[in-house]
Structure 1
Amino acid sequence: MTHRPAETDDAPDSEAPDSAAIGEDGYTDRTRWQAFAVAVAVASLTILDLSKVNVGIPAIELAFGAGPTEIQLIVAGYVLAFGIVLVPAGRLGDLSSRRRLFLIGLVVFLLASLFCAIAPTVELLAASRILQGVSAGLLMPQVLGLIQQLFTGAARGRAFGVFGAVIGLATAFGPTLGGLLIGVGGPEDGLRLIFWMNVPLVLLLFPFAYKLLPRTQPTTGAAKDLDLIGTALLGGTVLSLMLPFVLTTGAPSDDPARWWWLAVFAGLATVFVLWERRYTAGGRTAIVDFALFRIGGYRNGILISTFYFAAMPATFLTLSLFLQFGLGLEPVYAGMVTIPFALASAVTSWYSGKVVTTYGRSIVVLGLFGVVIGFGGVLASAFLLPAAVSPWVIAAFMTIAGAGGGAVIAPNQTLTLADVPVTSGGVAGSIGQVGQRVGTAVGIAAATAAFYVTIYAEEGSVGELMLYQDAFRNAALVILTFVGLALLLALVDLRGRKAGTLENTPSATEGLPQD
């Protein structure tokens, strides 16, 4: 079907996704949701590659003889590159063409997956994973910007609800899928299958993306300049913040000097802010619009998601290690323990996306309470129950955590971007994604360090099961701390909205009702 490309975000919302009415942007509701489906399918691939590799860590150690540093680079190097590229890619997409950046990112993701699949050494595998992270950083801000562009009002809430459900499923099913592929192919071939599976999927999605994604988009009329110096400073700032955490493995060989990177981060962040202010004062468009942070819902939403994503990937990683090393489960069965989380998360994410305009931040608060209860139950089950029973009860508590998690991601995403202008949708979404990736890097580093520090400290002095129970307990306490901080911020945000003290800046978009 041929349609006129999108030029505005003012198309009327419709309750019927299959309506044939053509909006002002030239899209029917059907083609709008088709374009959305392609974008979200690609986003799910990037998240799958964040989670499905976790269950393959023992296979990587066996196949390549990888040590803690190499493992951390393979797992967290992806996140590092993802985080560095996000904001520049979002800015480029807002200024030029989200569709073009999306297609470029898709090609890079295809090539990186191919390189991972055929990597002969662990060093080349780590380098290819970093390239994969770059491609994910190119893709994700375009997805968020496209959702902002294609939908308004209640339809946007529904779209983010579906987006959250799909991302939740990808995050939670990743370990199951990775374990299944390793079970089919064995440690080395199965590990390569994890990356080979991306190749036909990208080849299938590319022509649909080429045909369906909007060829034009709304602009502010501002000069389409890219702040190259600001881009470099921002990249250095994000790199210096994330790098010491990426290099943290919990092994005694960790170099304490890595923490000096945080001093570099403080210096670069200061220079970046000063440069951006000067750049803006000259009448040009900075890579980061600091006015966005005056929007209370946007600012709070980013902080909530940062702490939440510090907890979530770290949970799947350390739980997978405990189930395989501590309880002796095969990778496929270790992955299956997270299936209830995925299913429950998908249901509540879809539903919460429909009602977020009515209940607002209250849904996020309720969801975070569910996550705390679920993860607390997982910890208690792992530590107190016999090994034969523990996985089943853990799966039950993961259902509770998943039900809560589904009510966090999608509503928080909707509320975070509700008052952001469509013309800034890509970069605003990118900043939020940077927060998530920084949170992921910090969370994985903190939780895995707590896990392995315990292993190194207690190895040989206690039984193997108790050794891994203690390690998982310490990692889980770190994770629960992050969830608790997210809950505290959500409660502060909710109280501010009810008291009418939350500062918001009006936007050019159709916003959501406040709590």
Structure 2
Amino acid sequence: MRVNPPDPGTGGAAATATHPHRWRALYVGVVASFMTLLDVSVVNVAVPSIDRALDASPADLQWILSGYTLAFGLVLVPAGRLGDIHGRQVLFCAGLALFTAASALSGLAQNSTWLILSRILQGAAAGLVNPQVTGLIQELFQGRERDRPFGTLGAVVGVSTAIGPLLGGLLIQLGGMEHGWRWVFFVNVPVGIVAVLLGRRYLPGPDPHRRGGRLDPVGVLLLATGVTLVLLPMIQRDQWRGAGKWLLIPAGLAVLAGFTLWERRYRRRDTPLFDLALFRLRSYGLGTLISLVYFAGFTAIFFVYALYLQTGLGYSPLAAGLAITPFACGAAVSAIAGGRYVHRLGRPMVAGGLAMVALGLGAAVVLTGLVPGRPAPFVLALPLLFAGLGSGLVITPNQNLSLSQVPVAQAGSAAGMLQTAQRIGASAGIAGIGAVFFAVLADRQGAWADAFRQALVVSVLVVLVTLVIAVVDSLGGRRRRGASTDAGNRPG
């Protein structure tokens, strides 16, 4: 199978590009994505309440938070491939129904083991849903028509990541400290039921002309094992003592190298789980790298900020969530604009957004040093708003540009790999930046403002690395366009 650079928004997608309910299908998908991505961060502020209600150990609490992310990341690529083979409606509705049931089970949990298992099931269901949404945009819209849908989806990604603590704090405030955490899960149930019914009605059904295929179980096993080995020491960084746990990361990278060798071999006789030739598309390869590094930088901010405000300064969960809202609002506004103008401005828009994020977080570093303590949320509101505006110009345009040349037949697996990179990046960022945060606290007892500042400094450095990658990509694209123009003007 060959990956061709020209725009793939034609051909196989022609039938679905005129689907009468494509905008309704998009909105159903966006709601589902919002729910599943929200559950990555919404539980953070509920941890103290869960601890009191279920008498959970630190290891239990870590798995309640991280089990969801791990299962989410493991399922993304196989789920995307299944959607490419069997159609996205079936996978979307099945995954969303499972997510809804797992949310109800989480809300009903009577002990920490019950909650851990239901959270893992919930994360796996979220992994089934999300690649189908991105694949639907590739399938239902063509060329520049995709700008608006990707802009909407990008706004959802940015807002769901940042607004989770606010919504969690609000639900706990309404439900009470003893049982409010259960409503963090129960709120998904009515929305999920309605979304499943609307998904069956509006999403395009299986295409009878869709070419079949197999899932490649060996590829699934190798990818799942490699990703698990890479993520586990990051997830268990506080519970597993000693440096031996970090040996799992090179072991995981070795398994992932084996996965690439297997996929190259499998490609000779059938469609692989993930076609590695997609990485030869510059837009997809560099876009995936940008996602990996950027999510390592910006996702950890909300983790350490929530700790600083709640544990360090004594703010309530609701107040801590409100403090992060400026970032979410900025990301929502600029993501829509970024999706609209991405084809006009290209990768330089991503570079500009990254520069804004770095400047906003840099200003937060300075202001935290000048005004530490309880006034911090008020002082940091404007820098976080500015950083959020920049973030909206990163996630949406980068996703659109990354998938712009991916054939529709591979849209699900390509989106799954892109989102897997985001999950790995987020886990690595929380582990690394969180380690810096706790190291400062251990060295200087009670120095919460200093710990937060040092964590922000590391976040800024990671964002600057992402900016370098985006600038290199922009300059490379400009040189290619210049060379193409010179060749076209050269006499025959």
Q: TM-score, normalised by structure 2?
A: 0.92
> What letter is aligned with 1:416?
S
What's 2:254 paired with? 267
* Secondary structure in structure 2 of the residue aligned to 1:48: helix
What's 2:4 paired with? none
Matches of 2:68 and 2:249, distance apart in 1? 20
Matches of 1:82 and 1:33, distance apart in 2? 26
> What letter is aligned with 2:254?
G
What's 2:289 paired with? 303
C-alpha spacing 1:235/1:167, structure 2 compared with 1 (3 Å) = same
Within the alignment, does 1:482 sit opposite 2:472 as a pair?
no
Of the three residues 376, 379, 395, the one matched with 2:365 is: 379
Matches of 1:156 and 1:392, distance apart in 2? 37
What's 1:513 paired with? none
Matches of 1:486 and 1:353, distance apart in 2? 19
Matches of 1:278 and 1:502, distance apart in 2? 37
1:55·1:317 contact (CA, 8 Å) conserved in 2? no
Matches of 2:173 and 2:483, distance apart in 1? 52
What's 2:49 paired with? 59
Of residues 94-103 and 69-78 in structure 1, the stretch that sits farther from structure 2 once superposed is 69-78
Matches of 1:332 and 1:132, distance apart in 2? 24
2:29·2:133 contact (CA, 8 Å) conserved in 1? yes
Cα distance per residue 1:163-212 (max 9 Å; x no partner): 11122222222111011111122223111110111111101211100100
Within the alignment, does 1:397 sit opposite 2:383 as a pair?
yes
Two-structure CA RMSD over aligned residues (Å) = 2.3
Matches of 2:56 and 2:438, distance apart in 1? 15
What's 2:345 paired with? 359
Per-residue deviation at 1:261? 1.2
Per-residue deviation at 1:147? 0.8
What's 2:319 paired with? 333
Matches of 1:188 and 1:450, distance apart in 2? 32
C-alpha spacing 1:159/1:122, structure 2 compared with 1 (3 Å) = same
What's 1:243 paired with? 232
C-alpha spacing 1:67/1:313, structure 2 compared with 1 (3 Å) = farther
What's 1:469 paired with? 449
Matches of 1:293 and 1:11, distance apart in 2? 22
Per-residue deviation at 1:248? 1.0
C-alpha spacing 1:87/1:485, structure 2 compared with 1 (3 Å) = same
> What letter is aligned with 2:475?
R
What's 1:20 paired with? none
1:51·1:313 contact (CA, 8 Å) conserved in 2? no
5+ residue gaps, structure 1, are: 1-7, 14-22, 505-515
What's 1:498 paired with? 478
> What letter is aligned with 1:259?
W
Matches of 1:434 and 1:219, distance apart in 2? 29
1:105·1:138 contact (CA, 8 Å) conserved in 2? yes
* Secondary structure in structure 1 of the residue aligned to 2:215: coil
C-alpha spacing 1:95/1:28, structure 2 compared with 1 (3 Å) = closer
> What letter is aligned with 2:140?
L
Matches of 1:233 and 1:292, distance apart in 2? 19
Within the alignment, does 1:186 sit opposite 2:176 as a pair?
yes
Report percent identity of matched pairs. Answer: 40
Matches of 2:458 and 2:125, distance apart in 1? 30
Per-residue deviation at 1:312? 2.5
C-alpha spacing 1:91/1:28, structure 2 compared with 1 (3 Å) = closer
Within the alignment, does 1:120 sit opposite 2:110 as a pair?
yes
5+ residue gaps, structure 2, are: 1-7, 485-492
Matches of 1:458 and 1:421, distance apart in 2? 53
> What letter is aligned with 1:212?
Y
1:149·1:217 contact (CA, 8 Å) conserved in 2? no
What's 1:196 paired with? 186
> What letter is aligned with 2:296?
A
Matches of 1:294 and 1:354, distance apart in 2? 26
Matches of 1:26 and 1:433, distance apart in 2? 24
Number of corresponding residues: 477
Q: TM-score, normalised by structure 1?
A: 0.88
What's 1:456 paired with? 442
What's 2:303 paired with? 317
